[in-house]
């Protein structure tokens, strides 16, 4: 391994956010999954739903790049453009919000096409800027000018549109500035309704428009449970779920590319995690050494147990460990380098969810810090693990100390707060016990949204995710190594 300099670490693991990644590198590293297949399908609407950090933006950006490579008329609409051109009044009625989205999207699509695919439109600004009427006719007039060589085309996509009348539109970061208020919920719900209406309207005008929208899990959940009309959108939803196997393949692919090696992820899908992780031995130790129940555990199990099934988590963790290795002039990442990052990594992940969800539940900080193990829980060997009854009892105790209220005025109950903790991935569902030798089954919110729904009990227990435990117990870090086994991945 060359030195773990900042430059080499960036080349090795890449940027944390897709928008910061060079298109060439994104294409080189990208791992296609079932969600990507769904987004690329020939269907009018796909709404990509997933937690922050799971790669929604990377997937949408990659699909847009692939459209461009194939000569598809493809638009990527930015949140700043949306907010600048679409006037959404807090006092507006729901139907007015839908109409505002429809009108604004029409205008923005025309302007985006003009900006992306043509040289300056000499003498045609008025025609383009006034294209608030029939979208298909507006584009047809532009295509006609292209055919008559009156406009220089910068891309073959416009000529392809002339033949197939198909446009693909990507909308991401629509939840930027999200505050979980009633108006925010209505705004996103109105967008989904507007897109459905637009597709039908434009079809009548001779255009086939495909929309691809990225939404955070919590945003979609609030919209879905607040607006009865969203039942019509259920068939459009694509959940972006990663399993640990695919995340391991993703990081191995980056390491192999760094060393100039070819790596075709399809041929590794049926390999074991032990086999896949051997590709990491160029940069790290393969066994986690000298730490209680974690001693001599395969290092990939340690890494995957700490991430929340989000590729960005693993990039953050490995980047920090590589920086520690660089400080000690080490050629590989060792157990000590990893251990020295755990507490900081855990604090940052806890702060992430506080920052991300305090707009929905202002009392989130008190709630998550209140989940720290009590003296009795430590004594009983029940740190971070709860039956459903014990979880509800613990939350009731916290509610007696602090008044909780959701921003949308929904009443807080012990059950609704437990569901909130599950939704934000602070706790995960589990069934089975290590002591009995039975296989542990774990479920995350994206896999099963109703495990903690009111009046439902599916027999699962609950555990605080490993990512947060060092932050909740900085004075008892060794207890985690000595009392808690590394989960199977």
Q: Does 17 fall in a domain? A: no
Same domain for 229 and 259? no
Q: State the burial class of residue 438 (Cβ atoms within 10 Å of its Cβ: 0-12, 13-18, 19+).
A: exposed
Task: Measure the CA–CA gap between 322 and 255, rounded to whole angstroms.
Answer: 13
Structure confidence at residue 192 (pLDDT): 92
Domain span at residue 425 reads 244-483
Q: Does 14 fall in a domain? A: no
For residue 458, give the DSSP letter: -
Domain termination residue (choose one: 182, 211, 239): 239
Q: What is the DSSP string of 190-204?
A: HHHHHHHHHHHHHHH
- Helix or strand or coil: residue 339? helix
Is residue 249 a contact partner of residue 276, using CB atoms and an 8 Å limit? Answer: yes
Q: Does 19 fall in a domain? A: no
Is residue 98 a contact partner of residue 194, using CB atoms and an 8 Å limit? Answer: yes
Structure confidence at residue 20 (pLDDT): 78
- Give the pTM: 0.84
Q: Which of 311, 255, 310, 304 is nearest to 278 (CA)?
A: 255
Same domain for 189 and 76? yes
Structure confidence at residue 151 (pLDDT): 52
Same domain for 382 and 234? no
Q: Does 489 fall in a domain? A: no
Is residue 214 a contact partner of residue 77, using CB atoms and an 8 Å limit? Answer: no
Same domain for 77 and 144? yes
Q: How many domains does the chain have?
A: 2
Q: Does 394 fall in a domain? A: yes
Compute the residue count for the chain.
489
Same domain for 227 and 286? no
Same domain for 306 and 399? yes
Is residue 55 a contact partner of residue 311, using CB atoms and an 8 Å limit? Answer: yes
Same domain for 186 and 64? yes
Same domain for 335 and 473? yes
CA 142-146-150 angle, to 5 degrees, is: 100
Q: Does 426 fall in a domain? A: yes
Domain termination residue (choose one: 222, 239, 256): 239
Is residue 279 a contact partner of residue 1, using CB atoms and an 8 Å limit? Answer: no
Q: Does 220 fall in a domain? A: yes
Same domain for 342 and 267? yes
Q: Does 22 fall in a domain? A: no
- Please report, for residues 58, 157, 299, 399, the alpha-carbon distance to residue 364 in angstroms, rounded to integers and kept in the order given: 29, 48, 32, 12
Same domain for 93 and 187? yes
CATH of the domain at 115: 3.40.50
- Please report, for residues 328, 345, 403, 451, the alpha-carbon distance to residue 411 in angstroms, rounded to integers and kept in the order given: 52, 33, 11, 19
Structure confidence at residue 127 (pLDDT): 44
The residues, ordered by sequence, that sit 6+ positions from 352 with a Cβ below 8 Å of its Cβ are 52
Task: Measure the CA–CA gap between 245 and 304, rounded to whole angstroms.
Answer: 9
Q: State the burial class of residue 378 (Cβ atoms within 10 Å of its Cβ: 0-12, 13-18, 19+).
A: middle
Structure confidence at residue 124 (pLDDT): 46
Phi first, then psi, for residue 169 (nearest 5°) are -120, 125
- Helix or strand or coil: residue 269? coil
Domain termination residue (choose one: 239, 269, 289): 239
For residue 444, give the DSSP letter: -
Same domain for 204 and 235? yes
Task: Measure the CA–CA gap between 118 and 388, rounded to whole angstroms.
Answer: 60
- Helix or strand or coil: residue 168? strand
> How is the beta sheet containing 45-50 ordered, strand by strand?
73-77, 166-171, 208-216, 45-50, 237-239
Q: Which helix (H) or strand (E) holds 125?
A: helix 125-129
Structure confidence at residue 331 (pLDDT): 92
Average pLDDT per 10 consecutive residues for the chain, totaling 489 residues: 90 82 87 91 93 90 92 84 71 86 85 65 45 53 61 62 82 83 88 92 85 91 78 85 91 93 89 94 92 88 92 94 96 94 95 91 95 87 88 95 89 92 92 63 77 64 93 78 75
Task: Measure the CA–CA gap between 267 and 391, rounded to whole angstroms.
Answer: 43
- Helix or strand or coil: residue 387? coil
Structure confidence at residue 123 (pLDDT): 44
Task: Measure the CA–CA gap between 364 and 408, rounded to whole angstroms.
Answer: 14
Phi first, then psi, for residue 352 (nearest 5°) are -55, -50
Other C-beta atoms within 10 Å of 56: how many? 25
Task: Measure the CA–CA gap between 280 and 362, rounded to whole angstroms.
Answer: 41
- Which residues partner with 73 through β-bridges? 167
Same domain for 178 and 325? no
For residue 153, give the DSSP letter: B
Is residue 12 a contact partner of residue 6, using CB atoms and an 8 Å limit? Answer: no
């Amino acid at each position: 391994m060359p030195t773990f300099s900042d430059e080499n670490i960036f080349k090795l693991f890449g940027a944390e956010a897709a928008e910061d990644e060079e298109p060439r590198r994104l294409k080189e590293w990208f791992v296609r999954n079932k969600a990507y297949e769904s987004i690329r399908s020939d269907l009018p609407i796909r709404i990509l739903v997933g937690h922050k950090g799971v790669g929604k933006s990377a997937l949408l950006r990659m699909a847009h790049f692939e459209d461009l490579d194939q000569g598809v008329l493809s638009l990527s609409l930015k949140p700043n453009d949306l907010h600048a051109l679409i006037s959404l009044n807090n006092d507006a009625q729901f139907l007015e919000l839908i109409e505002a989205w429809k009108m604004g999207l029409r205008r923005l699509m025309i302007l985006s096409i003009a900006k992306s695919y043509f040289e300056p439109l000499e003498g045609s600004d008025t025609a383009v800027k006034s294209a608030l009427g029939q979208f298909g006719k507006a584009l047809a007039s532009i295509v006609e000018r292209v055919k008559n060589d009156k406009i220089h085309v910068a891309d073959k996509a416009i000529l392809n549109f002339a033949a197939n009348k198909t446009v693909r539109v990507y909308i991401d970061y629509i939840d930027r500035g999200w505050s979980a208020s009633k108006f925010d919920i209505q705004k996103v719900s109105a967008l989904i309704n507007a897109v459905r209406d637009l597709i039908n309207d434009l079809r009548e005008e001779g255009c086939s428009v495909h929309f691809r929208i990225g939404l955070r899990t919590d945003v979609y959940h609030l919209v879905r449970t607040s607006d009865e009309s969203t039942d019509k959108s259920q068939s459009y939803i694509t959940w972006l779920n990663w399993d640990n196997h695919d995340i391991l393949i993703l990081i191995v692919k980056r390491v192999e590319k760094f060393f100039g090696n070819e790596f075709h992820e399809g041929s590794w899908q049926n390999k074991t995690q032990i086999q896949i992780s051997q590709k990491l031995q160029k940069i790290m130790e393969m066994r986690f050494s000298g730490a209680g129940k974690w001693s001599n555990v395969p290092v990939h199990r340690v890494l995957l147990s700490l991430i929340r099934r989000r590729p960005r988590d693993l990039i953050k963790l490995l980047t920090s460990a590589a920086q520690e290795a660089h400080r000690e002039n080490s050629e590989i990442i060792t157990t000590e380098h990893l251990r020295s990052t755990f507490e900081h990594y855990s604090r940052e992940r806890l702060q992430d969810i506080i920052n991300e969800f305090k707009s929905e539940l202002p009392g989130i900080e008190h709630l998550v810090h209140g989940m720290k193990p009590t003296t009795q829980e430590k004594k009983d060997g029940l740190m971070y693990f709860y039956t459903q009854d014990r979880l509800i009892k613990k939350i009731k105790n916290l509610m007696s100390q602090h008044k909780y209220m959701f921003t949308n005025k929904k009443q807080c109950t012990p059950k609704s707060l437990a569901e909130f903790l599950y939704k934000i991935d602070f706790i995960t569902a589990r069934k089975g016990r290590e002591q009995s030798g039975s296989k542990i089954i774990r479920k995350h919110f994206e896999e099963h949204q109703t495990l903690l729904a009111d009046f439902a009990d599916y027999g699962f227990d609950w555990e605080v995710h490993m990512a947060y435990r060092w932050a909740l117990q900085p004075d008892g870090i060794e207890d985690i190594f000595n009392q808690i086994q590394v989960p199977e991945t």
